[in-house]
Homo-oligomer: A and B are copies of this chain.
């Protein structure tokens, strides 16, 4: 059996997230990809994704793998898949990997980007990929607040209910907030992330940036281990899975 790794780019706007939802006939990225794979390989394929991105969340570098006996040339497989896939899902890379590679269990970390457009009005071009925030934000305060997330912590306060995440400990390796014109770009790298964790972190930092929360209050919120103390969940559409590290 060959083990094939895909790197996938998608605009999540029109999908109910990555994961196939059992019993529900909803349009998910995984379902669309498995259907395309089945069409090309003439066999039912089960695809393992590295991250179960939520409805409306995007990816520049989602990783998934599947096993097949087919000897098809990978370049041809990629071409065939891309010709079948809708315009908002693209296989950007394909390679054969060792049989023990598992896109979820083998990964050592992920990089997410969150984009805020700080403006009175949205953007005709970017509206699918940003959270538009009208009130003034203090980047220095948000940067200070972001520092408290670095390292290993219990992230219960930033984990949505119904997560199924038993172990709430995560390690944040890097956290940068940059300004680019009217945009604020949050770049966060961690070994693992809980359900809606990045969006809860960004939603909380925005409360810091607009002066509703203190930057050093983040430490207290982490210590509470209770979702009720953190800020609101930032909208899905600003979030993009940038890279999965192995």
Chain A residues proximal to chain B, CB less than 8 Å: 9-11, 58, 60, 78-79, 82, 87-92, 120-125, 127, 129
Contacts and interface: CB of A to CB of B under 8 A. Distances in A.
A163 to B, nearest CB: 27
A4 B124 CA distance: 21
B88 A127 contact: yes
A96 B10 CA distance: 42
B124 A10 contact: yes
Q: Which 4 A-B pairs have the closest CB atoms?
A: A9-B124, A90-B124, A87-B127, A11-B124
A168 B66 CA distance: 58
A90 B79 CA distance: 37
Contacts of A79: 120
Contact of A123 (B90, B91, B121, B125): B90
B89 A9 contact: no
A124 B89 contact: yes
A121 B122 CA distance: 29
B121 A91 contact: yes
Contacts of A87: 122, 124, 127
Contact of A125 (B58, B82, B122): B58
A88 B124 contact: yes
A18 B164 CA distance: 50
A57 B110 CA distance: 36
A9 B125 contact: yes
A127 B9 CA distance: 12
Contacts of A88: 124, 127
A241 to B, nearest CB: 12
A89 B127 CA distance: 10
B121 A125 contact: no
Contacts of A125: 9, 11, 58, 60, 129
